[in-house]
Amino acid sequence: MKTPLLFAVLFVGASTIVATSTNHVNSTIFPTSTNVVNSTVLPTSTNHVNSTAIPSSTVVVNSTVFPTSTAVVNATIFPTSTNHVNSTGFSTSTEVMNSTVFPTSTDHINSTLFPTSTTVVNSTIVSTSTVVVNSTAFPTSITVVNSTVFPTSINVINYTVLGF
């Protein structure tokens, strides 16, 4: 009985992400889309091609995900990229390596996604992580387990994006 409710909430959350967008085609944050205009994820961007947060794009300028960045290469919120500086995703971070919101990364300090967290380990928005403390993604959560915006999570407390 909990699963349908969770998926219903996730759908509402996902629709909020593209609330002001005009065109979104075939997406998990738009993996095969050819045009994404004025969205919460990319509010001032005009064109993003073949992305799950833009995996094969070469340049992304002035977006919520990369507000001050000038180039982002090969990303699923950057799995093969080695350096991303001063973005909303990693506002005070200097280096982020090998991630789908960091599946093989071991340490992420003071970012927009985890602004007061000290360590985030093994995640697709923290899919196998056991502890995520005081972050924008999980502001009051103590433990978040097995998730991709947490379809099989056991414990998710006060999740901002889902509107709790």
Q: What is the pLDDT of residues 95-121, one digit of tens each?
A: 443 334 443 344 444 444 444 444 444
Same domain, 88 and 138: yes
User: Which residue range is the domain that position 29 belongs to?
Assistant: 14-71
Same domain, 47 and 88: no
Residue 2 lies in a domain: no
* 67, 87 Cβ separation under 8 angstroms: yes
Calculate what percentage of the chain has a pLDDT beyond 70: 0
Residue 42 lies in a domain: yes
Confidence grade of residue 51 (pLDDT, cut at 50, 70, 90): very low
Same domain, 53 and 86: no
Residue 78's Cβ-side half-sphere holds a number of Cα atoms within 13 Å equal to 20
* 124, 137 Cβ separation under 8 angstroms: no
Question: Among residues 45, 80, 73, which one has the least CA distance to residue 58?
Answer: 73
Determine the number of helices (DSSP H) and then strands (DSSP E) in the chain: 1, 0
Q: Residue 39's pLDDT is what? A: 42
In the chain, how many domains are there?
2
